[in-house]
Amino acid sequence: MPLVNAVQPFPHIGCSNHRLLSPCFSFAEHRLFPTQLKVSCSHARLTNKYKREYTSVMIVPTGIGASIGGFAGDALPVARTLASVVDCLISHPNVLNAAMLYWPMPNVLYVEGYALDRFAEGAWSLLPVHQNRVGLVLDAGMEEELRVRHLQVADATRASLGLPVIEYIVTDTPLEVEKWVDPMSGQSTGRMKHPDSLLRAVSALVNQSRVNAVAVVARFPDDNSSEDVDDYRQGKGIDLLAGVEAVISHMVVKEFEIPCAHAPALPPMALTTSLSPKSAAEEIGYTFLPCVLAGLSSAPQYLKAANYLDSSSPRPLVLQKDCLMASDVDSVILPADACGGDGALAFAATFPKRIKPLIIVVEENDTVLNDTPDKLGIEAIKVSNYWEAIGVVAAHKAGVEPNSLRRNKISNINYSMHS
């Protein structure tokens, strides 16, 4: 007679709001929460228990004037749709942030861009978490009113969303952010005059407050009257803030190896009646911070894979069940002319004992770059738009050759002349 409380093997449940969708729902968690296995949804379906879950990565590089993903969260609808098709979606703040808006998706991993590159290279792995302890860094260069507004946002997310925002700290020196457009690439970029001040503030939160994720709010220079800002508000041009935002978060993640995202501090802009819907999320409040805190609250932690290798296994022992590695990625979706980043190149490269993911490039999402698959020697499926990209992903997940869905795209099988 079987024991009543015996742990039984279980299939994954294909329901988008079910916790079992997580690729890192571990055997230990199953023992702790056995009742969760009884949850079902009307559209739930049992998947083949002998196939691992399907993981996609969606990339839209920051500050490159992307037609989709170059504004205030305008790539978020793509991510929401893609997340409903795949088991796990990995993306970064430029895709998932929408200033005052955000959208919780239980099977989406919020991964900062520098960490995503290291993940793609196989140097880091992603460890999904139940919840992070989030710390907040405020730039000493912020005016009192802006500082109070951002603290009110932090308190609001704690009271209304229950987010674990633990403590805040003010930098000991104004960061003095500068931003500009690179004349060679056309990308937005920038720097901080006092980066050490930021690193000291983050170090205090990590070592004294024991936070394991950090939101940074830096005071950005006012340029509300510039022509570039007017273009951005009308859904054109480049996000002038995004490039240096990436510089800031990359610096923190590289130094401390924890999740980080940035929100710029700016005074509210004058009302305009010609505002593009793509830019509107940034103008409905005093801050861009809500989406950052929401994303960081459940962002995966980063682990250096090399620290855990065992000579008898190609996969780190501590990562066997709970962590995601680059070898777990099945497909990567990105703009067709933005394939030159570290992450994209790493996913497209050939590694021993690692099957390359399907690379899907979207032609409609044009940018200021010209890093195409053909130019870089990357094998990729070219699609016109994200509608087609998601269709290719659905076919790939089903184990169907995507070209078999097209007219006359399957030719006679090739003969191999190799002996």
Spatial distance between the Cα atoms of 150 and 132, rounded to a whole number of angstroms: 20
pLDDT, residue 355, reads 86
Q: Provide the greatest CA pair distance for the chain.
A: 77
Q: Is residue 325 within 8 Å of 122, Cβ to Cβ? A: yes
Pairwise CA distance, residues 150 & 155, whole Å: 9
Write out residues in the chain with pLDDT < 50, as ranges: 1-45, 307-320
pTM, entire model:
0.84
CA 187 to chain centre: 20
pLDDT at 351: 79
Q: What is the pLDDT of residue 369?
A: 96
Equal CATH topology for 55-126+301-399 and 134-297: yes
Residue 215: HSE in the Cβ half-sphere, 13 Å Cα cutoff:
34
pLDDT single digits (tens) 391-405 = 999 999 999 999 999
Angle value at C-alpha 369, between 364 and 374, nearest 5 degrees: 75
CA 259 to chain CA mean position, Å? 11
What CATH topology corresponds to 134-297? Rossmann fold (3.40.50)
Other Cβ atoms within 10 Å of 379 Cβ, number: 10
Give the pLDDT confidence score for residue 270 in this predicted structure: 84
Neighbours of 184 (CB within 10 A): 6
Beta strands per DSSP E along 37-77: 55-58
**CATH number for domain 55-126+301-399, candidates 3.30.1330, 2.40.160, 1.10.287, 3.40.50:** 3.40.50
3-state secondary structure of 361: strand
CB 243 within 8 A of CB 220: no
Give the model's pLDDT for residue 48. Answer: 59
- The per-residue pLDDT for 237 is 86
Do residues 215 and 293 lie in contact, with contact meaning Cβ atoms separated by under 8 Å? Answer: yes
pLDDT of residue 409: 84
Residues 6 or more apart whose Cβ sits within 8 Å of residue 11: 46, 47, 49
Task: Quote the pLDDT of residue 225.
Answer: 57
Domain boundaries, the chain: 1-45, 55-126+301-399, 134-297
pLDDT at 419: 62
Looking at residue 317, what is its pLDDT? 45
